[in-house]
Amino acid sequence: MSTAAGAKPSFKEQMLQAREEAIVKSVNRLLAEKGFDAMTVDEVAASVGIAKASLYKHFPSKEDLAAAAMVRVMRSAREFLDGIDAGLPPLEKLRAVVRWTLQVQLAGQMPSLPTQNSSLRAALTGSREYVDALMEISVRLGAWIEAAQAAGALNPKLPPIAVLYTLYARGCDPVLEFLRGGGQHTDDEIVDLVLSTCFDGLNSR
């Protein structure tokens, strides 16, 4: 939903935007807690306090709901990247991004989506904002990866795309919940442990 440039949204448009934001926040939470397969449209509607028919006026399908939640995460990721100190070494920028990703996951704000769902994939690839954000973030991270490799801070023998996907995988890393479930570490300690295994490996130095 959009208004003309410079025009103030009408009260009705503001209410619809607020409702959509509430829906997407609820979807984000449910996807983080239960995952895509277990989440139902009825649960989303009930959590927002609207009829399912009203929800479908905003988002035609469960897949569209998930895509909207991912767009929200991408917006947050871009904002975080924009705020990273430009003077940091490339490796430290990458570590900051992964730290943020882990913290978002531990806070229950990272949607959990299946990788082998064709209808969900279609909804994601059909979202221009999602695709554009993913490409922009990938290009920025890719440049930092290559710069870190050139500086000798990352293994130059690893294909940059493999490093990129390894970093992306931290957004759905089950190790976080395993460690939290053990009850022996704080969330900050868990983040530091996962960062260490991600960037320093398991070999003794």
Question: What is the per-residue pLDDT across 82-123, written as a single tens digit (0 to 9) for each?
Answer: 999 999 999 999 999 999 999 999 998 888 888 778 888 898
Q: Are 91 and 148 in contact (CB under 8 A)?
A: yes
| pTM score of the predicted model | 0.84
What CATH number has the domain bearing residue 120?
Answer: 1.10.357.10
Count of structural domains within the chain: 1
Q: What is the pLDDT of residue 110?
A: 87
User: pLDDT > 90: what percent of the chain?
Assistant: 63
Q: Is residue 78 part of a domain?
A: yes
Average of per-residue pLDDT across 7-28: 84
Categorize the per-residue pLDDT at 4 as very low, low, confident or very high, splitting at 50, 70 and 90.
Answer: low
Angle between the N-to-C axes of helices 11-34 and 41-48, in degrees from 0 to 180, rounded to the nearest 10 = 130
Residue 5 included in any domain: no
Contact 63, 123 (CB under 8 A): yes
Residue 152 lies in a domain: yes
Q: 173 in a domain, yes or no?
A: yes
> Domain range spanning residue 153?
62-200
Asked if residue 70 is part of any domain, the answer here is yes
Residue 141 within any structural domain of the chain: yes
For residues 103 and 176, what is the distance between their CA atoms, to the nearest angstrom? 10
